[in-house]
Amino acid sequence: MNILGYDTKNGGRGMTILTLTAIVLGVSLGAGFLGALTGLGGGVVIVPFLTLALGVDIRYAIGASLVSVIATSSGAASAYVKEGFSNIRVGMFLEVGTTLGAIAGAFLAAVVSPPVIAVIFGFVLIVNVFFSLAKHPGPASDIPAPSDRLAARLRLDGEYPSLRGIVAYRVQRVLSGLGLMSVAGVLSGLLGIGSGALKVIAMDRVMRIPFKVSTATSNFMIGVTAASSAGIYLHRGYIDPGLTMPVMLGVLAGSILGTRVLVRTPTRRLRLLFDIVIFALGVEMILNGLTGKL
């Protein structure tokens, strides 16, 4: 795993800050770019890269990753909001769960030992891949089920623009969705990721919100979720400015580039490639966690 020829146990010993910054900036750029193309976000690759390839302490890695997640979310959300896909009511209501979960997760991060965090991270990566590969049950909006009582009470139903004109949708199983969102929040706070995949699953598959609306709303929510654990990360010293700087700038620039070319690129193959990489990283994280190398 020592791809750079440095002693991984020593955080790239011998590397100057300038070299490290350049490498991290380059990889973060690529991660942000692929993350935007595949919709998985850049955070899932950053932590394994920093810890496995560069030997960075996992606490610094998740701190840097969490900050980059906020940057990507703000960037993506500002674009999506304009297009009218995101459902702000749904997002705001579910943020009750994600913010509380994220605080719990950030506290857990301090209690749980780094190797255990690495193992959990690895499992989350692998589960992500399985969900990504699993067949999608089909567009939810074609099933005209009535929205549940809570959704009606909160007026969560909405509509979005499509090629066929305005499509209305109904929201279901709000409480199950809220529960799953709390789990997404815990994982976000614990692992410094956006938990975008789980958020989309909660909205798209559980609450039966159309996929496009789910992804846009998820992007919108990720920044708020991450911000609620970022304060605790700051307090604990997880966010090191020297390391976070290239991660944040790289992921941000990469994701902006990624959303620009999103329209023209065949994403299925790319996504499969990304899935394979993430699966391998997940296995590597678990192995390194179990052997106590991280």
**Contact region for other proteins (CB under 8 A) — 64-72, 142-150, 172-180, 270-278?**
64-72
**148 near other proteins (CB under 8 A):** no
Polymer length in residues for the chain: 294
Sole binder of other proteins in the list 200, 202, 248, 251 (CB under 8 A): 248
> According to CB under 8 A, which one of 138, 165, 241, 266 is a site residue for other proteins?
241
One-letter amino acid at 190 equals L
Among 130, 134, 143, 155, binds other proteins (CB under 8 A): 155
Q: 27 to 56, contacts with other proteins by CB under 8 A?
A: 50, 54-56
- C-beta of 11 vs 132, nearer to other proteins: 11
CA 23 to mean position of chain CA atoms: 22
19 scored as a contact of other proteins (CB under 8 A): yes
Span interacting with other proteins, options 26-34, 37-45, 247-255, 258-266, rule CB under 8 A: 247-255
As measured in angstroms, the least distance from the Cβ of 24 to other proteins is: 9
* Interaction between residue 18 and other proteins (CB under 8 A): yes
Angle at 222 between CA 221 and CA 223, to 5 degrees: 95
Between CA 237 and CA 92 the distance in angstroms is: 29
Q: Which of residues 70-129 bind other proteins (CB under 8 A)?
A: 70-71, 73-75, 77-79, 81-82, 84-89, 92-93, 95-96, 99-100, 102-103, 106
Which of 70, 87, 83 has its CA nearest to residue 174? 87
In the complex with other proteins, the residue whose CB is nearer, 131 or 240, is 240
Q: What's the CA gap between 154 and 156, in Å, rounded? A: 5
Query: Which residue lies nearer to other proteins by CB, 57 or 183?
Result: 57
Beta carbon nearer to other proteins, 20 or 198? 20
Token pair of 272 as six digits: 């499969």
Q: How far is CA 266 from CA 170, 200, 261, in A?
A: 31, 21, 10
How far apart CA 130 and CA 275 sit, in angstroms, is 9
Reduced to 3 states (helix: H, G, I; strand: E, B; else coil), residue 26 is helix
Which residues have CB under 8 Å from 93's CB, separation 6+? 154, 156, 174, 178
Q: Which member of 160, 211, 274, 279 binds other proteins (CB under 8 A)?
A: 160
Instruction: Dig out the tokens for 282 from the structure.
Output: 């997940």
Q: How far is the C-alpha of 51 from the C-alpha of 65, rounded, in Å?
A: 11
Cβ proximity to other proteins, 74 vs 132, nearer residue: 74
44 with 284: CB under 8 angstroms?
A: no
One of 116, 139, 159, 287 touching other proteins (CB under 8 A): 159
210-229: contacts with other proteins (CB under 8 A): 213, 216, 223-224, 226-229
12 binds other proteins (CB under 8 A): yes
